[in-house]
Structure 1
């Protein structure tokens, strides 16, 4: 059995925020079966207690009749029913009267506004939406001009200050002008503190924004949402007329659809209160509104961050790169709804498109370049130092390479690589011979080493051990008859 407060929260999540049973159950920590059961109830039903007789039972109808005629107090009712024989106490009467007394209906005056005098703003929420690989809560900003009822709506996945101010800017651009006053509820983006009987303390950023655009801020009284009824009706209208039944596959698609809905439905309908189209009524209001300023206000949220050793800063579970030389440095981050800018001592060092996905890494290809250059220099220096150990002539050989070759480091790298294959003495000898023959290239060293590795041992000297035997040689007389020709006399 849930209590009444839980039931009301459940209904608000479902009816006002547009959450389904599964989402409500997850937020409130209840089972799907429980949530589904209570959302199908038209009203809260208390578990019926076991029927027990009460001393007050014979007088309950009398009490109801008295309350219908006049709002008597429990003490007055107790005196009356005691005269009729009730012998119970005050508490039982007070509890019953509190339970059955008709609720008081508070009356409100309808606020009226002159053309251009005021606009009202508020946030609405409606379930969640897919953004990349994640899911974010969907919010929407509504501004309504109080006289004409012309409406602006913009969807976001955040209600932070930069989004709040950006939505104002976009609304002013949509209207082409600025109202003289804006009424806000007591949300933290606008009002930092509000105590009954005291002037509200406005958010300094919002106050500066208002001064820039030339409007004053009016904060509603605490618990007096009726004071901005126009925009609250607008929030409800967006949910019922635009969002109800709308399939939202991705966040990117929703704002163009909302803009189309504004121009074809919301601002051209016959308004229920004025009985006129907002766009037609706006034509009468336009001349009373303030013009837009020449320059836009910088709406960025500014914060201090420190770059990691991987030259990254983190925002909303995403990582963004900065130039490698700023690894570990303290930097200034300016966050906009669509981008983020990173500064070092007022110098812009990095700029990225803002992502509302989660756990993504974004790197500018230019940012690691300096680190790669440094690493290459260190690697080249290490190879050069190794080259100098190959031979006493190595340093002189390198100077000649610099004079005669366009890329001496390439030749040094190849020669050092050859030292991993061939014996160090062989490489040293090849370097010295190449220097002697003024042959300065890695190809010559490689050919020299290869040829020498394939050479057979040189033959030794011939020694005659038994010379007398070797000199006693019989040579047979050759047969010269093969040279005789037919009919030829060799004596001639």
Structure 2
């Protein structure tokens, strides 16, 4: 077909310059039929569209090709075949046509399928304090020079679009509890409904429609914060589209380029500042005359008041080894020596580990997220030292043990004594009954007196614990005065004259 500029030149030559059709054909090198078509239709552009595309070769193979295309579209993106691969599969079955026919058929099939499967959506409205949405994302950061993948919890208020994000090393249930508590404490309240996907830490079974069997501990958390949980339809992320969009926004604006921080606490403090800064700098989607932060401040009075922290731990039964340790999450944590031989219960929080036996706390440690590490509390092994004082010198729990200044000074002085380990163990054993402040004060007093013996320190503790009563002086009745003497200074003058 002739281009638009050629059509324009023919029209100007005939109507403006007055050329004949014969001259236009000769000068512009255009056929007579084309010139007549341009002048008769008064069109400025001609386009050609084939009404029917003949495919004689692929006709008998259309059914097979449709099966290939349909099954390929239902596969995950990483497992889908390219069109060249589908063409090769078709050739293997006996197809003798070319690739171009397969490509044209696949294009028309995709267009028809898209027209059939296209879905329309209804914009949603949430009243102030009505609902929030929760989701997880995985981001790559560098912490203290080590590249790690952190799990970021996202919470978003549906009305004001205020967002909250916090990073964790795990995606387990105790992290879900901690993320909710910190988000609600930041919002100073919560909503009446929480919208979730069907994450395993919350949903144990999916039934027809919106019916779900929720995890018992998750329901306890929702009851504590007065929240009604609502789970989305499986594979229907648009039902919590706001938090899905937040995941992409946070990844693009906060985690690109790759962050480098010293610790997870530094990362979380930075994330909170960025969330507040973004809310103050950007307009609300619907109320464009207000910022997200202004809408959030207006929504706060409508939130359900924050009722305080939920005791969000994940409970796991465990056994105590003979080395006074409990295994949890690929690490070992020490417990009191008296707990050996009986089962315990590990209460895993987001940042610490509590170990209880019959309701009594037998171990409390900061949580470790490495692998194969052992976290000791040397005081757990002091009762064992009473029976085996030699373990003080080479015991693994006592390596790099940092004692208070006075105790450490006594320990250094006792290293040069033959029975120094035994004496130091006696002093440490006193901490279990007297308390660390009292023993430290006794050690400081002994050092001030220039001694460091365990007997002296224990004697000081005993005197402070049971001070001796003041001595009671008794006078014999025969020695008591009947008449109190009267002072007479004139007697001294008589004595002087006599002298």
Q: TM-score range by the shorter chain?
A: 0.5 to 0.7
Q: Please, which runs of 5 or more residues in structure 1 have no aligned partner?
A: 12-42, 65-94, 379-408, 414-492
Choose the corresponding residue for 1:286, options 300, 303, 317. 300
Q: Does 1:209 align with 2:278?
A: no
Distance 1:371 1:285, change over 3 A: same
Q: CA deviation at 1:248?
A: 2.4
Q: CA deviation at 1:9?
A: 4.1
Q: CA deviation at 1:311?
A: 0.7
Choose the corresponding residue for 2:121, options 108, 112, 125. 108
Q: CA deviation at 1:317?
A: 1.9
Secondary structure of 2:229's counterpart equals strand
Q: CA deviation at 1:137?
A: 2.8
Please list every run of at least 4 consecutive aligned residues from structure 1 whose deviation after the TM superposition is greater than 6 angstroms: 3-7, 55-61
Q: Does 1:221 align with 2:233?
A: yes
Contact in 1 for aligned 2:284/2:292 (Cα 8 Å): yes
Q: Does 1:302 align with 2:315?
A: yes
Could you report, residue by residue, the CA deviation over 1:57-115 in whole angstroms, capped at 9, with x for unpaired residues?
99998xx7xxxxxxxxxxxxxxxxxxxxxxxxxxxxxx997566331211111111011
Secondary structure of 2:380's counterpart equals coil
* 1-structure distance, mates of 2:282, 2:269: 19
Distance 1:234 1:274, change over 3 A: farther
Secondary structure of 1:367's counterpart equals helix
Distance 1:57 1:318, change over 3 A: closer
2:439 corresponds in structure 1 to none
Return 50-59 or 248-257, whichever deviates more. 50-59
Q: CA deviation at 1:5?
A: 8.2
2:401 corresponds in structure 1 to none
Distance 1:44 1:311, change over 3 A: same
Q: CA deviation at 1:357?
A: 2.2
Contact in 1 for aligned 2:325/2:333 (Cα 8 Å): yes
Give the number of the structure whose alpha-carbon radius of gyration is greater: 1
* 2-structure distance, mates of 1:137, 1:59: 43
2:388 corresponds in structure 1 to 375
Distance 1:116 1:58, change over 3 A: closer
Secondary structure of 2:354's counterpart equals strand
Secondary structure of 1:187's counterpart equals coil
Q: CA deviation at 1:268?
A: 3.4
Q: CA deviation at 1:272?
A: 4.1
Q: CA deviation at 1:190?
A: 1.7
Return 123-132 or 242-251, whichever deviates more. 123-132
Contact in 2 for aligned 1:162/1:301 (Cα 8 Å): yes
Q: CA deviation at 1:274?
A: 4.2
* 2-structure distance, mates of 1:60, 1:311: 69
Secondary structure of 1:196's counterpart equals coil
Choose the corresponding residue for 1:8, options 64, 71, 77. 77
Secondary structure of 1:243's counterpart equals coil
Q: CA deviation at 1:377?
A: 11
Choose the corresponding residue for 1:323, options 336, 343, 367. 336
* 2-structure distance, mates of 1:208, 1:48: 52
Contact in 2 for aligned 1:129/1:138 (Cα 8 Å): no
Contact in 2 for aligned 1:322/1:350 (Cα 8 Å): yes
RMSD: 3.5
Secondary structure of 2:165's counterpart equals strand
Contact in 2 for aligned 1:325/1:371 (Cα 8 Å): no
- Say how many residue pairs are matched: 314
* 2-structure distance, mates of 1:46, 1:250: 49
2:244 corresponds in structure 1 to 232
Distance 1:7 1:192, change over 3 A: closer
Contact in 2 for aligned 1:339/1:352 (Cα 8 Å): yes
Contact in 2 for aligned 1:151/1:267 (Cα 8 Å): no
Choose the corresponding residue for 2:172, options 160, 163, 169. 160
Contact in 1 for aligned 2:153/2:165 (Cα 8 Å): yes
* 2-structure distance, mates of 1:121, 1:320: 32
1:350 corresponds in structure 2 to 363
Q: Does 1:245 align with 2:314?
A: no
